[in-house]
Structure 1
Amino acid sequence: ATAADQLGPDLQPVVVAEAGPAEVVRAARAFNAMQQRIAGYLNERMQILAAISHDLQTPITRMRLRVDLMDDMPDADKFRQDLEAMRSLVHEGVNYAKTLQGSDEKVRRLDLDALLRSIVNDYADTGSPVTLDGAAGQPIGTRPHALRRILGNLIDNALKYGQRADVHLRLQAGHCYIDVCDAGPGIPEEQLAAVLQPFYRVEASRNRDTGGSGLGLAIAHQLALSLGGTLRLHNRPEGGLRASLQLPASS
């Protein structure tokens, strides 16, 4: 039961000791084999996704160069926009595949307050309306690069669709809560869970003038799970969307 609970989204197997009575040995052996098969299937799928996404980059680059050489071609700008959208989608596809394949980054103690101040200050330096409220007041055990990427995706999403990003931090009952709120139109209630899935986009409910691959929130969701946390979306009563990240305060 412990091994099953510890089998995270990256599907790194936790080998169960194959010892004890015959029935226990048989169950443990079957469980270990099942873990290996599932991990193998997922790894194969992710390698295919990464390979296709990587190989598409070369022809897209060639097509872009050819379009640039044809300045007198009708609708050249539209071709460039389509190729840029394809390039962005391929790039996000590679990143998503890497996320699902897991990370070798080690868990370490982190000053969460300092990390959030650094991230918010970086956005403020570029003139982006990002604010920070609250504090954890103590270090937590986590993977810093993964957490920074989650927060970057959530803040970018808030700025892109909601004009601003207000970050709220608190420590409560052994968990760390980070909320990223925006002032946008929100998302229909019935689609709040669906937008965390890959390639799902809700342009009609957000901003028709902005694109996106539909992978930013999916990557943040997978990374949150890999940190032993959760990511949930809520529409705020006063308007806008709240992305709530919950993480364990210790490793």
Structure 2
Amino acid sequence: MKRILPSSLLGQVMVSVALALLISQVVSATLLFRASEDRRENAAVTTAAFRLINGAERAKSNGGPIDRERLRAQRQRLREAGGPQADQIARDRLPLPLRYNVTEEQPLAGQSILQRDDLSDRLRVVLEREGVTPHALAVKIIPAGDDLWLQSLAERRPRLAASQEWRDRQLVVAAIQRKPDGQWEAARLLAPPRPKGAFGVVLLQTLVTFVILILILFFVIRRITQPLATLTKRVAEFSRDPDTVVELEEQGPTDTRRLIAAHNTMEARIAALLDEKDVMLGAIGHDLKTPLAALRVRIESVGNEEERGKMAASIEDITATLDDILMLARMGRKGSLDTEAVDLGALAIGVVEEFEDLGEQVIMLDPQRLVAQVQVTWIKRALRNLTSNALRYGGGAVVSMVRGESHAILRVEDSGPGIPEGALTQMLEPFTRGEASRNRATGGTGLGLTLARAIAEAHGGTVVLANRAEGGLRAEIRLPLNE
């Protein structure tokens, strides 16, 4: 499955934060747009309420004196409630007969137009605040060109009919019925248009905020992740070359600085332990091999030839085991791997010929010519160990040299009992043997496969064990090829 998120900590955090910010900004922009729409609708409702009240007052006066002070106070209160857009509605007037009229039936009755109950509730609140409690009311918003009253008026007024601007506007129709079975008072007004570029301003504000926050977060998170990336790189280098100690500069936040300081201390301590191990192993090798050499000389004085032979064999076993342990302990140390370009097929033939000279049942299949950069003595040692195991447990060995996708495979197969599937990995551990006794002649030291694996890993390769379908074991040394 293709990866969706970046693999790095910086990438994943930035993508997660960017998505969260984008969602929050979209929500914020939506709320701002909705608030703007609410202000426009409130302005329309308050203006419609004023026209209904003002129109009724003028109708009552029937040409008589009007309480202009009271109307002026009402207009001011409604204008404050409607905000600046209420003034825009007042300036954008329809012809006087349409601003306020009285009908026997509800305006737009029978037309399939959606009733705005939310605006009706707002209109009722505004009217009741001014002392008007209607029996029924309705608020609808329609395209101005669909209003029958405007269409009828346009037919009588050529200038209005010639104008297209009003037809594309939204028309707010507010109607109230003060008493049951009474007349309907209706007020019409053109809804205030959305400010030009309002959506663009909101979008620009959202993008600018998003970009600024992302840039700030990038530098903040980078300050945290960059020292971690440097530390990760250094850990990988130290795992390949533990002899070179590098003290990293402590950077980043306090937690990251403490982590780097702890790594520097650990790296120095590990390097010191490895040096101590080499000194100790050198001392062990010297202290043990010298007495063993003296024992070889002393056993010559033993008169019983059979006993002398057993003693010599025991000394050789101890010496061989000690050599295996010292070699395993030296694996991976700097300077221990002096490689050269070698034809692995020819190398395998040389090892097989050694066993053939000893009369062992070893067969070499026609090898491919593959060149790899290896330490010859070590690779021969690893191949000998696998072949010896095949001879010991399988009674014979078949050696081959084949090419993998990007590596060479030195393969040794036998026809023995194999290894239980659950124990294949365990057999690569030190002192693990397929034969339960401690007899070196039948079970070895338990270090052969471990040494082979260590040698392969020192070359950037690996050892793979698998049971053959036809019986027996397949052991492979896989080494990277020169490109």
CA contact (8 A) 2:462 2:477 kept: yes
CA 1:20–1:142: 2 relative to 1, 3 Å = farther
Aligned-residue RMSD, C-alpha: 3.5
> Could you give the per-residue CA deviations for residues 151-207 of structure 1, whole angstroms, max 9, x where no partner exists?
222222222332222123222221222221122332333332223222233323999
The letter of the residue matching 2:377 is H
Max radius of gyration: which structure? Answer: 2
CA 1:66–1:232: 2 relative to 1, 3 Å = same
Which piece of structure 1 moves more, 177-186 or 101-110? 101-110
Match of 1:216? 448
Match of 2:347? 115
1:183 aligns with 2:415: yes
Distance 2:247 2:444 in 1: 42
CA contact (8 A) 1:142 1:250 kept: no
1:147 aligns with 2:379: yes
CA 1:114–1:88: 2 relative to 1, 3 Å = closer
- Count of residue pairs the alignment pairs up: 251
5+ residue gaps, structure 2, are 1-231
The letter of the residue matching 2:344 is L
Distance 2:259 2:469 in 1: 50
1:5 aligns with 2:236: yes
Distance 1:63 1:173 in 2: 51
The letter of the residue matching 2:235 is A
1:173 aligns with 2:408: no
SS of the residue 1:147 aligns to? helix
Distance 1:91 1:140 in 2: 26
The letter of the residue matching 1:196 is L
In the TM superposition, residue 230 of structure 1 has moved relative to its aligned partner by 1.0
Q: TM-score, normalized by length of structure 1?
A: 0.78
1:198 aligns with 2:437: no
In the TM superposition, residue 75 of structure 1 has moved relative to its aligned partner by 5.6
Distance 1:185 1:47 in 2: 42
Q: TM-score, normalized by length of structure 2?
A: 0.44
CA 1:78–1:168: 2 relative to 1, 3 Å = closer
Superposition pairs of residues 36-115 of structure 1, within 5 angstroms: 36-71=268-303, 78-99=310-331, 101=333, 103-115=335-347
> Could you give the per-residue CA deviations for residues 208-251 of structure 1, whole angstroms, max 9, x where no partner exists?
85242222222111111111111122222322222122222238
Which piece of structure 1 moves more, 167-176 or 65-74? 65-74
5+ residue gaps, structure 1, are none
In the TM superposition, residue 10 of structure 1 has moved relative to its aligned partner by 6.3
Superposition pairs of residues 8-27 of structure 1, within 5 angstroms: 8=239, 11-13=242-244, 15=246, 18=249
CA contact (8 A) 2:370 2:408 kept: no
Which piece of structure 1 moves more, 132-141 or 143-152? 132-141
In the TM superposition, residue 110 of structure 1 has moved relative to its aligned partner by 2.6
Distance 2:311 2:301 in 1: 12
Distance 2:285 2:463 in 1: 26
Distance 1:210 1:19 in 2: 55
What percent of counterpart residues are identical?
35
CA contact (8 A) 1:185 1:239 kept: yes
In the TM superposition, residue 103 of structure 1 has moved relative to its aligned partner by 4.2
Distance 1:41 1:91 in 2: 21
Which piece of structure 1 moves more, 54-63 or 201-210? 201-210
CA 1:182–1:57: 2 relative to 1, 3 Å = same
Q: Which is helix-richer, 1 or 2?
A: 2
1:242 aligns with 2:455: no
Distance 2:329 2:365 in 1: 33
Where relative contact order (Cα < 8 A, 6+ residues apart) is larger, the structure is 1
The letter of the residue matching 2:418 is G
